[in-house]
Structure 1
Amino acid sequence: MSQIALPLSRKGSGDPGRIVIGNANSEVIEALRNPSHWPFKTAILSGEPRSGKSLLGRWFESLGEGEVIDSANIWDETELFHRWNRAQEDGRPLLLISDADGWEVELPDLGSRLGSALNLQIATPDDEMLAFLIESIAIQHGLALGEGAITYLVPRAERSFAEIERLVLMINRLSLERKAPATLGIWRDALEAIRGPEQGRLL
């Protein structure tokens, strides 16, 4: 398990953004490293909220390999069609990031062309990646998780990027509010707060 450090800083933070590499995104990252293989110089990146799509887009852009359009699903479709044509003319890869679950394109010419693009999907994180995500988010927020936190939290946590972030932030919040270290009682209460009592008390 490893990370990619971004050369750009997140808004409101002096720390560089980091992308955790794991089962959910390793194939996506490999494809972004080799855009010369993309059909028609175009790829569409999608995935659940907070899965790192925009971070990956920023990283790809920092490599100087091509153009990135974030939230492409809400862009004017005629403009996207022009950008696609420009990618063909210039030979410069185009990465479109979609926030939609099942992006439906209304403009027929654009739809037919994007139908031939490389589809990159960020998958569900496995236990190993989940553990590294918890540790990474905790470090980012200066949260010291007590011993045994990963062993306790991973089996009880939802396999979701957004929920993992929410869980760690809840642990941090409770620890700060109670002025107490983030140990078992706080892990359990954080799980109960976001998923219900049965999750926090799961044996």
Structure 2
Amino acid sequence: MTMPHPEGGPRQLPLDLGHQTSHAEDDFLVGAGNALAHARILAWPHWPDGVTLLIGAAASGKSHLARIFIERSQALSVTPTTIAEIASGSGRQALLIEDVDRQDYDEHHLFHLLNQAMRGDRTMLLTAREEVARWPLRTDDVRSRVRRAPVFRLEVSDDIELSQMFVKLFGDRQVKVDPKVVGYIVPRMERSAEEAAILVDLMDRLALAKGSAITRAIASEALAMRQQAHGLHRQQDWDGETDE
């Protein structure tokens, strides 16, 4: 795989050998930005509402909480290809429906499952990146029911949470990093969980390519590459604008 280098020529990076992300309950990092969402999942089955909605950016921890929910509730994970069969049944098993705003779920069957949960027949956890108003829903009845669900957001609230996230992401890859490297990169990066995950992956690949540990120099190089990528995206946005 070839990736651009901030100084010009391509940089050959090693193939992704894969790593196992830990979704164990004890490994979830609880902070001010996700404490309410975490508490909600741990409160199952004593939810006052049948439906719970988690909203957060990519890599914010939604999938981790979803796995904890499945472990606790033995929930059935619904997909666009299985929703019709599940909705046609009479089961009362808890359900997990991930990425509702990005997957093409049949709205007739989604409406049926929402009604089941709101009647108290079963519990349901929904996850999404965007606020409900931005979902590409075509059915007003589905939108109105989703809006009735309590929303729990996952956000990075401060530098401490972001630093802990770096430690967790590197730990999932079994990579030890000097805390000074984390302390260097956190105040200089775009402040989001998604950006943290991208930077961890990039630094890991750069270190493998150099055959070295992850150093401040590698962190600086990764930041420069991300800044270059952001600049390119902004330029593409500007190039697409037209005067009216």
Comparing 104-113 with 24-33, greater Cα deviation is found at 104-113
The TM-score with structure 1 as length reference comes to: 0.80
**Is 1:186 matched up with 2:218?**
yes
The number of equivalent residue pairs is 185
- Residue of 39, 53, 57 corresponding to 1:44: 53
The CA distance in 1 between the partners of 2:215 and 2:99, in whole Å, is: 38
Alpha-carbon RMSD: 2.3
Whether the aligned pair in 1 keeps the contact of 2:54 and 2:62 (CA below 8 Å) is yes
Aligned letter for 2:71?
S
Q: Secondary structure in 1 aligned to 2:168?
A: helix
Question: 1:109 offset after TM fit, Å?
Answer: 2.0
1:47 and 1:121 in contact (8 A); partners too: yes
Q: Per-residue deviation at 1:63?
A: 0.7
Match of residue 86 from structure 1: 116
Is the CA contact 2:51–2:114 (under 8 Å) kept in the aligned structure 1?
A: yes
Distance (whole Å) between structure 1 residues aligned to residue 162 and residue 138 of structure 2? 37
Instruction: Show the 5 A alignment for 1:24-103.
Output: 24-35=33-44, 36-39=46-49, 41-64=50-73, 66-73=94-101, 74-101=104-131, 102-103=134-135
Maintained 8 Å contact 2:19/2:173: no
Give the equivalent residue in structure 1 for 2:187. 155
| Distance in 2 of aligned mates of 1:146 and 1:68 | 38
Amino acid at match of 1:57: A
Amino acid of the structure 2 residue aligned with 1:119:
V
Offset of residue 81 of structure 1: 0.9
Identity %: 26
Q: Matches of 2:187 and 2:22 in 1, distance apart?
A: 29
Once the two structures are superposed, what CA deviation does each residue of 1:130-152 show, in whole Å capped at 9, x if it has no partner? 11111111111122223511221
- Summarize deviations over 1:59-81 as a string: whole Å, max 9, x none: 11211173211122331111111
Query: SS where residue 68 of structure 1 aligns?
Result: strand
Higher alpha-carbon Rg: 2
Q: Deviations over 1:12-71 (max 9, x none)?
A: 6556424322222111111222353443x1122111112121221121121117321112
Per the normalisation by structure 2, the TM-score is 0.68
| Residue aligned with 2:53, SS | strand
Tell me whether 1:134 sits opposite 2:143 in the alignment.
Answer: no
C-alpha distance in structure 2 between counterparts of 1:123 and 1:14, whole Å:
23
3-state secondary structure, aligned to 1:43: strand
* TM-fit CA distance, 1:170: 1.5
Which ranges of structure 2 fall in alignment gaps of 5 or more residues?
A: 1-17, 76-93, 229-244
1:157-179 deviation per Cα after TM superposition (whole angstroms, max 9, x unaligned) = 22111110111111111111111
